[in-house]
Amino acid sequence: MGARAVNIAEVASAAGVGVGTVSRVLNGSGQVRESTRRRVLAVMERLDYRPSRLASGLALGTTRTVAVLVPFLTRPSVVDRLAGVLSVLDEQGFDGLVYNVETPDDRDRQLSALADRHRADGMVTVSIPLRREQVAALEAQGMPLVMVDADCPGVSRVVVDNVAGGRMATEYLIGLGHTRIAFVGDQPNKAMGFVSTSRRLSGYREALRRHGIARDRSLERRGPHGADWATTVLEELLVRPDAPTAVFAASDTQAMGVLRAAQRCGKHVPGDLSIMGFDDIEAAALLGLSTVRQPLRRSGEVGARRLCSALRGEPITPVREPLPLELIARQSCGPPLVRERPPPVGVAV
Amino acid sequence: MGARAVNIAEVASAAGVGVGTVSRVLNGSGQVRESTRRRVLAVMERLDYRPSRLASGLALGTTRTVAVLVPFLTRPSVVDRLAGVLSVLDEQGFDGLVYNVETPDDRDRQLSALADRHRADGMVTVSIPLRREQVAALEAQGMPLVMVDADCPGVSRVVVDNVAGGRMATEYLIGLGHTRIAFVGDQPNKAMGFVSTSRRLSGYREALRRHGIARDRSLERRGPHGADWATTVLEELLVRPDAPTAVFAASDTQAMGVLRAAQRCGKHVPGDLSIMGFDDIEAAALLGLSTVRQPLRRSGEVGARRLCSALRGEPITPVREPLPLELIARQSCGPPLVRERPPPVGVAV
DNA sequence: ATGAAAGCGCTAACAG
DNA sequence: CTGTTAGCGCTTTCAT
């Protein structure tokens, strides 16, 4: 094996200059005679010199690295956000350490590991609420933090109005003429503290109330994330005599499960059943799913951008940055059909 | 603002011991009297001491960090692999720096950035072939590398047999009675050097040849990744008088596009058109898509495990680790139906 | 068991 | 412009 790594001192002596000069050419800090610069560069080349990030980081007191905490990395909405975060970090010259956490334990473990100094200059959490003490601890450590998709008072964050989103989806359905509208969403996750689903549910209820539609608790279902459970629950609902004519799923993934249930039950979409999703992940367009779009990738970009500003010492305002929601009407929603009418032709699913 | 960060020296003096001792309790390196240990621990606690990763890393000459290069992060197959990589890294005590590269330029830029010493202890690439010189450069730098889903002679890698996979899919279709089988896959990407699609295409051709089915080049289509293009191309194929009765898509994503084309053209699946995918991403099960499953997440785990072994100095053998492919039969494939027969009832899509 | 001191490799302030 | 030097914070001999 060979050639022990070359350090700046060796380059300096080989080039017949001081380490300071080498450092200067390394960082392009002007004040170096062109001829000297070239000589040093040549030596670095010849010796295959590669600077140590650890050493420069230590000297500078910075890592140029940002920690990114994401839950359930493989979920489309999460990975879209992450992609946004990473792209901005990259463009701003930061490396991204990614931690995928699926349990409160994971989260706490990573958080305390991140308590080491000089591990990351800052941190962005995606869709992960933190407890007060955790936020406080981070603050105490002087670790800049920005949260994406979590509304934590006092911390820099980018959010959407989930209540409004739920209302928007539901009112769209109501406007189409539906009155029996089911809700399907993730079950409450106290441990991780997710609240988006609950918020969307509130919006749903609010819409019903506003339009004088009595709330039917048997139509409000929450269960494990993923399409499978949604399929099961809908299959159950669809055979009831008072089956819903529409369903609002709190995520596109679950909406996909609902879609499958409709198909299995021989229900036409949207004739027999209208389906609204949430997020607008890529598959939604593919399946013709109407949905409430939130700017997933963009939320990550905005969050990362804020963190980078903070790291540059710029004050970041406003602290809370809301991103817009948008209703995307595709083919999965329509007016409820009268039973006697013939089924619609092109079921665009 | 306040309390400037505490370092090991301050802890030492506050505890009335030498820095060496503090370091020892920090790393649990035995030889410290229990009473001393406790006293030091108490001081660390009181002063809210947090060790510097940069400093210990520099002293130790290691970063406990691994760089992970992935292309098109948001693709389901890629993120599944990444999740596998990260989970193993985490369990083995490494942090993962994730770089999402979408162009050869991205790739080269990240690669040369990674040339710095002490940036990462090792690297795993996911589905990214590297050029000979790049591999050589990494080797010269003493940067341990393992590649997941890329078959680069001489480097530690985990792969699947894509030719066999293509054959497997095609023979399954042939076995069902199909003879007009289309192929849909990514277009050749010379720049990034992806070859999986070409391999699968080879397998497809091989299967046809073996079974004496004449190859029809007009049924072999390659275009941009993503479902949209696949939909377009299939809509075109399906209106031809000699439309295919089956199609093998080189990825589930494209298979989804094919599925949509069938629906738009009013073709029943699998009666009028059988569809085979590749990968077995989550949506495949949801859509009842038959496919060739490859262990996505597992490939990442295995790759990361190998890298960690290498970092531990253990010799890693074999250098090339093949993972198995498996045909998953769901509802999207069946024997071609005679045109006169009535359409099947339950289109399980 | 533990203190002292020599690095790890780089940056920046300070003289020239 | 450029050499010298003092850190950055930790690990690890080497004595004691």
Q: Are B248 and B166 in contact (CB under 8 A)?
A: yes
d(CA A55, CA B90): 24
d(CA A277, CA A281): 10
User: For residue A3, what pLDDT band results from cuts at 50, 70 and 90?
Assistant: low
Q: Is B55 exposed, middle or buried (0-12, 13-18, 19+ CB in 10 A)?
A: middle
Interchain pair B95, A95: CB under 8 A: no
Mean confidence (pLDDT) of chain A: 94
φ, ψ for residue A89, nearest 5 deg: -55, -45
In this complex, which residue's CA is closest to the C1' atom of nucleotide D7? A59
In this complex, which residue's CA is closest to the C1' atom of nucleotide C11? A59
Q: Which amino acid is at B268?
A: H
| Cβ of B5 less than 7 A from strand D | yes
Q: Find chain B residues with C-beta within 8 A of A286's C-beta.
A: 227, 256-257, 260
Q: What is the DSSP letter of B183?
A: E
Find residues 166-225 of chain B whose CB sits inside 8 Å of chain A. none
In this complex, which residue's CA is closest to the C1' atom of nucleotide C4? B18
| Cβ of B17 less than 7 A from strand C | yes
pLDDT (0 to 100) of residue B349: 37
Mean confidence (pLDDT) of chain B: 94
The predicted-structure confidence for A33-67, as pLDDT tens digits, reads as follows 999 999 999 999 999 999 999 999 999 999 999 99
User: For residue A339, what pLDDT band results from cuts at 50, 70 and 90?
Assistant: low
Question: In this structure, what token pair is assigned to residue B5?
Answer: 């960060």
Q: Are A285 and B231 in contact (CB under 8 A)?
A: no
pLDDT(B345) > 90: no
Interacting residues of B47 by C-beta distance below 8 A, sequence separation 6+: B6, B10, B11, B14
Q: Buried b / exposed e across B154-191, counting CB within 10 Å, b at 16+?
A: ebbbbbbbbbbbbbbbbbbbbebebbbbbbbbbeeeee
The predicted-structure confidence for B130-156, as pLDDT tens digits, reads as follows 999 999 999 999 999 999 999 999 999
Find residues 63-122 of chain A whose CB sits inside 8 Å of chain B. 63, 65, 73-74, 76, 79-80, 82-83, 86-87, 90, 95-100, 115-119
Question: In this structure, what token pair is assigned to residue A237?
Answer: 């609902």
Count of A–B CB contacts within 8 Å?
132
Interchain pair A100, B83: CB under 8 A: yes
Question: In this structure, what token pair is assigned to residue A274?
Answer: 């209208």
Closest-CA residue of chain A to B81: A74
For residue B213, give how far its alpha carbon lies from the nearest alpha carbon of chain A (Å): 33
| Cβ of A54 less than 7 A from strand D | no
pLDDT (0 to 100) of residue B340: 46
Find residues 300-329 of chain A whose CB sits inside 8 Å of chain B. none
Greater pLDDT, A343 or A142? A142
Interchain pair A98, B98: CB under 8 A: yes
Note the pTM of the prediction, 2 decimals: 0.95
| Cβ of A175 less than 7 A from strand D | no
Question: In this structure, what token pair is assigned to residue B166?
Answer: 């293509």
Q: Find chain A residues with C-beta within 8 A of B133's C-beta.
A: none
| Cβ of A100 less than 7 A from strand D | no
Peptide bond into B270 cis (omega under 30): yes
- In angstroms, the CA of A61 and the C1' of C7 are apart by 19
pLDDT(B241) > 60: yes
Q: Find chain A residues with C-beta within 8 A of B55's C-beta.
A: 58, 118
Distance from the Cα of residue A56 to its chain's centroid = 32
Helices (H), B192-251: 196-210, 227-238
Question: In this structure, what token pair is assigned to residue B147?
Answer: 């590649």
d(CA B303, CA B309): 10
pLDDT (0 to 100) of residue B3: 61
CA distance readout (Å), A27 to A24, A31, A45: 5, 11, 15
Under the phi-then-psi rule, with left for phi > 0, alpha for psi from -120 to 50, and beta for the rest, what region is A270? Answer: alpha
| Cβ of A187 less than 7 A from strand C | no
pLDDT(A169) > 70: yes
Indicate the helix (H) or strand (E) that contains A139. Answer: helix A132-141
Question: In this structure, what token pair is assigned to residue B333?
Answer: 């494939």
| Cβ of B29 less than 7 A from strand D | yes
In this complex, which residue's CA is closest to the C1' atom of nucleotide C13? A20
CA distance readout (Å), B3 to A254, B15, B21, B48, B242: 48, 18, 24, 10, 78
- CA dihedral for B346, B347, B348, B349, sign (positive or negative): negative
Greater pLDDT, A2 or A109? A109
φ, ψ for residue A148, nearest 5 deg: -110, 130
Candidate from A228-232, B2-6, B188-192 with smallest mean pLDDT: B2-6
Strand C, nucleotides < 7 Å from a protein CB: these are 1-14
The predicted-structure confidence for B7-25, as pLDDT tens digits, reads as follows 999 999 999 999 999 999 9
d(CA A41, CA A39): 5
pLDDT(A340) > 50: no
Find residues 215-244 of chain B whose CB sits inside 8 Å of chain A. 227
CA distance readout (Å), A217 to A176, A220, B301: 21, 5, 43
Residue where the block lists tokens 């994401």: A70
Q: What is the DSSP letter of A129?
A: -
Interchain pair B115, A50: CB under 8 A: yes
Interchain pair A74, B73: CB under 8 A: no
Q: Are A177 and A335 in contact (CB under 8 A)?
A: yes
d(CA A327, CA A50): 52
Residue where the block lists tokens 């030889």: B31
User: For residue B117, what pLDDT band results from cuts at 50, 70 and 90?
Assistant: very high
pLDDT (0 to 100) of residue B14: 95
Interchain pair B82, A73: CB under 8 A: yes
Residue (of B160, B161, B180) closest to B170 by Cα position: B180
Residue (of B8, B13, B34, B127) closest to B75 by Cα position: B127
pLDDT (0 to 100) of residue A347: 35
| DSSP string of B110-169, one letter each residue | HHHHTTSBTS-SEEEEES----HHHHHHHHHHT--EEEES---TTSEEEE--HHHHHHHH
| Cβ of B19 less than 7 A from strand C | yes
Q: Are A274 and A169 in contact (CB under 8 A)?
A: no
**pLDDT (mean) for A67-81:** 98
Q: Are A262 and A269 in contact (CB under 8 A)?
A: yes
pLDDT (0 to 100) of residue A125: 98
| Cβ of A52 less than 7 A from strand C | yes
The predicted-structure confidence for B36-85, as pLDDT tens digits, reads as follows 999 999 999 999 999 999 999 999 999 999 999 999 999 999 999 999 99
- In angstroms, the CA of B57 and the C1' of D12 are apart by 14
User: Of A147-151, A314-318, A335-339, which one has max mean pLDDT?
Assistant: A147-151
- Which residues of chain B form beta strands (DSSP E)? 65-71, 95-101, 122-126, 145-148, 156-159, 181-186, 220-223, 246-249, 274-279, 290-293, 320-322, 326-328
Interacting residues of B129 by C-beta distance below 8 A, sequence separation 6+: B147, B150, B152, B192, B193, B194, B195
| Cβ of B92 less than 7 A from strand D | no
